Amino acid sequence: MCVKSGCDRGDCRPLAKEAGIILPNSAINRLHRTLAYLTCTRFFHSLRQKNMSSDSDSDVLEVEQQPTRSSAPTASTAKPNGHDVVDVDSDSNDRSANQSEQGLVRELARVEDELKAVTKQILRLKQKQSSLASRQEQISQELLLNQSKSLAQKDWTGTHFEWSGRVREVLQDVFKISEFRHLQLSAINATLSKQDLILVMPTGGGKSLCYQLPALVSQGITLVISPLISLMEDQVMQLRKLGVGAEMLTGSTKREENTRIKNLISKGPASEKPKLLFVAPEKLAKNKSFMSFLQNLHRANGIARIAIDEVHCCSDWGHDFRPDYTFLGVLRDLFSDVPIIGLTATASNKVIADVQKILNLQGCLVLKAPFNRPNLYYEVRPKTAVQKDWLEEVADLLSAEFKGQSGIIYALSIKDTEELATGLRERNIKAGWYHASMSPELRSKAHTKWLEGKLQVIVATTAFGLGIDKPDVRFVIHHSISKSIENYYQESGRAGRDGRKAKCILYYRFADYFRLSTLVFAQQTGLQKLSHMLAYCTEPIKCRRELVAEHFSDTWGQGDDCKSMCDHCRRPRSSEQVDVTKHCISVYRLIRNALENETKLTANMLFDLWYGKGKPALRLKDIPAPTHSREYMENIVAHFISEGFVKEDFNFTAYSTTSYLKINTAGQQKLDAGYRIKTIVAVKAKRPSSPACEVNGKKMKA
Ligand SMILES: Nc1ncnc2c1ncn2[C@@H]1O[C@H](COP(=O)(O)OP(=O)(O)OP(=O)(O)O)[C@@H](O)[C@H]1O
């Protein structure tokens, strides 16, 4: 060890020699003390280099000022050139250096304390900055929302507009409709007034009319941006049937057809010019020649308005985000005097604000109809583990309650659609299947057979959704849970579009949650949205409509009535709040114990262990099997997942992804700090004690 400084190399003296310096002990000591931040080696290396490049006196060491906390020069040693001068032979210098060292140590401690305080302050300020920034965003959103609300206060329903007479004429003569539905006239008047507008109306509410009718009352073309080719085909076909000129351009439109349509729109005779042009968002985002065509058309006042169908696709908070939709933000600037109308059935306030931002329509008019579909009955039923039992139950339902009625069964995978439809056919139900892997011909054949009533039910993936406009769908059954409440609302919304009563039944099984979580976890908002759906399915007592209204920030006041059109309102149950903290601790312990045994637990493995099954080494003797049913306990664990106490850990194999359960550290910290987890459970009504009665003289239970 080299003197007192802690240098363990012991090579300062040979290095000093090599640098041409003869050092007395006192100088070595002092250097070690005052230059504690340097190892001796570093110091002499730098010195050697310095000496090599200068003719300095070997008795005088010129120490380069280091950018460190102990570098303040003293008046006695400071050279005019800014370098400290250390006289290695001077004892008085030695003493003063000792004093200055103590001073430096004190200063260092003070500086360190100050630094700590400043760091704390910075952290506090950063937190404040981020909370102020999010409040700022919230306030600007609220201000814009207020702007939207005040625009919505204006009376748009009037019939005093210059176009009012013509609007009614077109409604009756072209569309053969006698009366407007809620918000249709307001939306039509607003867009004809050149007001930018976002229209939120329930599925089947009649949104299409709100841009189709104005298209016939305005000069120029209405450009409709739509996410699906099948949706465009359907609309073009319907419009042509009504005698309205409509065209569509997609990525697969042939070059000649493309030119024909463009020429017709820009140069065709007025009587032959189409009034509506349907395009996919990709057409705008990826086709410069089409954008140039639109700009030329605009210069010639040829664009009446732009309608963006399924506008929630702009936002990744919406349920089917499409990156090409984000390109549509340029439209507001490029065609500044052309009114834009965005339409959707599923948008919470968050999605609306997001869409407004992306499309540059901040503060525009928002017309929002209630989400409630009063004619739809919502029910969640437990799903049996055995497929055969489920098929029996549903076949019974279709041949009794839904006999002669038309409906849809939504399934999670392509394989499921085919297996379930086959299973139903074996039980004499006229069932077909529909999914994205079928050829367009086969898909269209299945769709047509169902439309014509040759199939009672179509078992489909969500590929069968947007644009399905069969009015008399009396039931929509979900074989497993949907990816989000938005998806469920859309899919179940295919029922009862004629306004008559229809049933939406969802079969829930906890295991299905994990089939979906492994599919959606890579999406930015996938798991969060799925957890909302999980909470919807496991909700024990609350009205289903109220849950949906809350999700979409819709108003559902005390006076609002479901009219017994959901399972919870039809069969109200009493409930109680229970403390489930101990169950969470058990779950954490089982997961931790398994990890200590190098095993990760899937939900199924966890429940097996909890109920005393599975590998004995992974069981914990002091955790007794729950006294409640597995279904009850699954709902409790579902609550832990929805509330973030339990997280998932996704692991890939070559063919699949597995979800394992893991402890959320933040959840553990909360429990450590004494937090109690509480949840609401339904309380089974006590059976009234059966009065005894007498049959043939014997006492029997009634
Ligand atoms: N005022 C009206 N009176 C009667 N029928 C109408 C009226 N407006 C629209 N419809 C009909 O209602 C059905 C649903 O309309 P539309 O397809 O526009 O719904 P949507 O709001 O776009 O629904 P989704 O979001 O599910 O596609 C159509 O068959 C349409 O002809």
Per-residue model confidence (pLDDT) at position 244: 96
pLDDT > 70: percent of the chain = 83
- pTM to 2 decimals? 0.69
Residue nearest to atom 9 of ligand 1 (CA): 206
- Residue 540's closest CA among 513, 571, 514, 563? 571
Residue type, 468: I
Q: What pLDDT was estimated at residue 689?
A: 47
> From CA 420, how far away is CA 432, in angstroms rounded?
9
The C-alpha atoms of residue 362 and residue 367 are separated, in whole angstroms, by 14
The rounded Å distance from CA 212 to ligand 1 centre is: 11
Find the mean pLDDT for residues 52-71: 38
> Distances in Å between the alpha carbon of 279 and those of 250, 308, 325?
6, 10, 12
> Are the C-beta atoms of residues 546 and 562 closer than 8 Å to each other?
yes
Are the C-beta atoms of residues 603 and 637 closer than 8 Å to each other? yes
- Tell which atom from ligand 1 comes closest to the C-alpha of 208: 18
Q: Which residue has the tokens 């965003």?
A: 137
Q: Output the pLDDT for position 14.
A: 52
**What is the structure's pLDDT at 45?**
52
Instruction: Quote the CA–CA distance of 224 and 213 in Å, as a whole number.
Output: 13
Residue 201 has pLDDT above 70, yes or no: yes
CA distance 447 to 497: 17
| Ligand 1 in reach of 230 Cβ (< 6 A) | no
| Test site for ligand 1: of 181, 185, 469, 489, most ligand atoms within 8 A of the Cβ | 469
d(CA 605, CA 591): 10
Nearest CA to ligand 1 atom 16: 206
Q: Which residues contact 134 (CB under 8 A, 6 or more apart)?
A: none
| pLDDT given at position 26 | 53
Q: pLDDT grade, residue 551 (50/70/90)? A: confident
pLDDT at 555 over 60: yes
For residue 494, how far is its CA from the centre of ligand 1 (angstroms)?
11
Taking a C-beta distance cutoff of 8 angstroms, is the pair 26, 94 a contact? yes
Which atom of ligand 1 approaches the CA of 466 most closely?
27
Q: Whole-number mean pLDDT of the chain?
A: 84
Helix pair 581-596, 630-642: axis angle to 10 deg: 90
Cβ of 345 below 6 Å from ligand 1: yes
**Separation CA 149–CA 145 (nearest Å):** 6
Most confident of 136-150, 442-456, 555-569: 442-456
CA–CA separation, 649 vs 480, rounded Å?
22
Residue 344 CA, closest ligand 1 atom number: 25
Of 87-91, 294-298, 670-674, least confident by mean pLDDT is 87-91
| Angle ∠(297,300,304) on CA atoms, nearest 5 | 70
What does residue 481 show for φ and ψ, rounded to 5 degrees? -70, 160
Residue type at 95 in one-letter notation: R
- Reply yes or no on whether the pLDDT at 190 is more than 50: yes
Taking the centre of ligand 1 as the mean of its atom positions, its distance from the CA of residue 179, in whole angstroms, is: 12
Non-local CB neighbours of 38 within 8 Å, separated by 6+ positions: 66
Ligand 1 atom closest to residue 467's alpha carbon, by position in its atom list: 27
Q: Which residues contact 539 (CB under 8 A, 6 or more apart)?
A: 547, 568
Query: Is-contact 575 680, C-beta < 8 A?
Result: yes
d(CA 392, CA 387): 9
pLDDT at 132 over 80: yes
Cα separation, 688 vs 678, in Å, equals 29
Cβ–ligand 1 contact at 203 (below 6 Å): yes
* Spatial distance between the Cα atoms of 612 and 607, rounded to a whole number of angstroms: 9
Residue 180 CA: which ligand 1 atom is closest?
1
Which of 7-11, 677-681, 692-696 ranks highest by mean pLDDT?
677-681
Q: What is the pLDDT of residues 371-410, one digit of tens each?
A: 888 999 999 999 999 999 999 999 999 999 999 999 999 9
Whether residue 215 is predicted with pLDDT greater than 90 in this model: the reply is yes
Describe the strand order of the beta sheet including 197-200 as a list of residue ranges: 246-249, 276-279, 221-225, 303-309, 340-344, 197-200, 365-368
Angle at 585 between CA 584 and CA 586, to 5 degrees: 90
Which ligand 1 atom sits closest to the C-alpha of 345?
A: 25
Q: How far is the CA of 213 from the centre of ligand 1 (A)?
A: 12
Give mean pLDDT, residues 302-321.
86
Ligand 1 pocket mutation, candidates 207, 367, 375, 462, criterion most atoms within 8 A of CB: 207
Q: How far apart are CA 549 and CA 557, in angstroms?
A: 10
Torsion of CA 591, 594, 599, 602, to 10 degrees: -40
Q: Is a pLDDT exceeding 70 seen at residue 505?
A: yes
| Res 436: pLDDT | 85
pLDDT band at 148; cut points 50, 70, 90: confident
pLDDT given for residue 66 in this prediction = 40
Ligand 1 touching residue 472 (CB < 6 A): no
Pairing of strands 221-225, 365-368: unpaired
Could you tell me the pLDDT band of residue 588, with boundaries at 50, 70 and 90?
A: very high
pLDDT at residue 455, rounded to an integer: 96
429 lines ligand 1 (CB under 6 A): no
CB 597 within 8 A of CB 616: no
Per the listing, tokens 């086959």 go with 422
Q: Is pLDDT above 70 for 72?
A: no
- Beta strands 303-309 and 221-225, pairing class: parallel
Ligand 1, atom 30, residue with closest C-alpha = 206
463 with 437: CB under 8 angstroms?
A: no
Pocket test for ligand 1, best of 171, 178, 208, 462 (most atoms within 8 A of CB): 208
Whether 673 and 666 have beta carbons less than 8 Å apart is answered as no
Amino acid making up residue 377: Y
Report whether pLDDT(137) > 70: yes
Nearest CA to ligand 1 atom 22: 207
The residue among 269 and 664 whose pLDDT is bigger is 664
CB-based contact 650:657 (threshold 8 Å): yes
Q: Residue with structure tokens 């699954």?
A: 634
Q: What would the mean pLDDT of 160-182 be, rounded to a whole number?
A: 94
Asked whether residue 564 carries a pLDDT value surpassing 80, the answer given is yes
pLDDT tens digit string along 332-357?
999 999 999 999 988 778 888 889 99
* Probe residue for ligand 1, chosen from 157, 177, 179, 476 as the CB with the greatest number of ligand atoms within 8 Å: 177
User: Is a pLDDT exceeding 70 seen at residue 475?
Assistant: yes
pLDDT at 136 over 70: yes
Question: Which pLDDT score, from 0 to 100, does residue 697 have?
Answer: 43
Q: Does residue 227's CB lie within 6 angstroms of at least one atom of ligand 1? A: no
Report the distance separating Cα 427 and Cα 408, nearest Å.
Answer: 17
Contact 497, 203 (CB under 8 A): yes
Spatial distance between the Cα atoms of 540 and 586, rounded to a whole number of angstroms:
23
pLDDT surpassing 50 at residue 133: yes
Cα torsion for 309, 315, 316, 317, to the nearest 10°? -100
**CA–CA gap between residue 527 and residue 521 (Å, rounded):** 5
Determine the distance separating the centroid of ligand 1 and the alpha carbon of 315, expressed in angstroms. Answer: 24
**Ligand 1 pocket member 216 (CB < 6 A):** no
Is 645 or 254 the better-scoring residue by pLDDT? 645
Per-residue b or e along 161-183, where b marks 16 or more CB atoms closer than 10 Å to that residue's CB: eebbeebeebbeeebeeeebbeb
Q: pLDDT tier at 502 (50, 70, 90 boundaries)?
A: very high
CB of residue 276 inside a 6 A radius of ligand 1: no
What tokens appear for 411 in the block?
């399934």
DSSP secondary structure, 469-486, as one string: --TTEEEEEESS--SSHH
| Predicted confidence (pLDDT) per residue in 36-58, tens digit | 444 444 554 554 554 444 433 33
Distance (Å) from CA 545 to ligand 1 centroid: 22
Tell me, using a 6 A CB cutoff, whether residue 201 lines ligand 1.
yes
Cβ–ligand 1 distance for 470 under 6 Å, the answer no
Q: Is 368 in the pocket of ligand 1 (CB under 6 A)?
A: no
Q: Average pLDDT of 518-541?
A: 91
Question: What is the CA(436)–ligand 1 centre distance, in A?
Answer: 25
- What was the pLDDT predicted at 432? 96
Contact partners, residue 662, CB within 8 Å, separation at least 6? 591, 600, 646, 647, 648, 649
Q: How far is the CA of 665 from the centre of ligand 1 (A)?
A: 49
Task: Mean pLDDT check: name the lowest of 9-23, 70-84, 105-119, 580-594.
Answer: 70-84
Is the CB of 168 within 6 Å of ligand 1?
A: no
CA distances from 239 to 162, 215, 223, 454 (A): 25, 11, 14, 26
Q: Nearest CA to 197 among 350, 354, 359, 348? A: 359
Report pLDDT for 75.
Answer: 39
Q: What is the end-to-end Cα distance of the chain in Å, rounded?
A: 97
More confident residue, 255 or 56: 255
The pLDDT value given to residue 414 = 94
- Rounded to an integer, what is the distance from CA 477 to the centroid of its chain? 25
Q: How far is the CA of 451 from the centre of ligand 1 (A)?
A: 17
Q: Are 224 and 211 in contact (CB under 8 A)?
A: yes
Residues 6+ apart with CB under 8 A from 464: 408, 410, 434, 435, 447, 458
- Kindly state if the Cβ of 503 falls inside 6 Å of ligand 1: no
Query: What percentage of the chain has pLDDT greater than the value 90?
Result: 56
Ligand 1 geometric centre to CA of 463 (Å): 20
